[in-house]
């Protein structure tokens, strides 16, 4: 017999356990590395899915180092019109 929890969407990162090591960082480290606040980091992880979340072996949420590096590279190399277009797209899709 199915329960009400069977109809909830599955969270894709809930089963991806990473070993302790250098391929992930805490959310606080990621926010300070990108030079943004924790609220902005949450928007990047949950709303736009640009930063990948994973679960560590301690069952805490962490951020992959590769996605933080990719976001840093995009912020450093993207022209202003691409940044403005991305901002507009994020605003429109947030409603």
Per-residue tokens: 9: 């969407």
Per-residue pLDDT, 9: 56
- Structural domain count of the chain: 1
Per-residue tokens: 10: 């599955």
Does 89 reside within a domain?
A: yes
pLDDT band, residue 14 (cuts 50/70/90): very low
Does 35 reside within a domain?
A: yes
Query: In the sheet that 24-25 helps form, which strands lie side by side, from edge to edge?
Result: 17-18, 53-56, 61-64, 24-25
Does 66 reside within a domain?
A: yes
17, 21, 25, 29: CA torsion to nearest 10: 150
| Domain interval for residue 47 | 20-93
Q: Where are the alpha helices (DSSP H) in 11-77?
A: 27-34, 38-42, 65-77
Q: What is the CATH number of the domain that holds 30?
A: 1.10.1660
Per-residue tokens: 34: 């990108």
The answer to whether the CB of 31 falls within 8 A of the CB of 45 is: no
Model confidence over 39-88: pLDDT tens digits?
888 888 876 778 888 877 777 888 888 889 999 999 999 999 999 998 88
The model's pTM: 0.71
Does 11 reside within a domain?
A: no
Does 12 reside within a domain?
A: no
Does 10 reside within a domain?
A: no
């Amino acid at each position: 017999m199915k329960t009400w929890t069977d109809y909830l969407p599955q969270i894709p990162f809930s089963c991806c356990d990473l070993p302790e090591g250098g391929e992930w960082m805490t959310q606080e480290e990621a926010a300070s590395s990108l030079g943004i606040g924790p609220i902005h980091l949450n928007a990047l992880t949950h709303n736009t899915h640009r930063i990948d979340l994973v679960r560590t072996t301690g069952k805490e949420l962490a951020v992959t180092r590769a996605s933080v590096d990719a976001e840093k590279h995009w912020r450093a190399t993207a022209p202003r019109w691409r940044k403005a277009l991305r901002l507009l797209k994020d605003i429109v899709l947030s409603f």
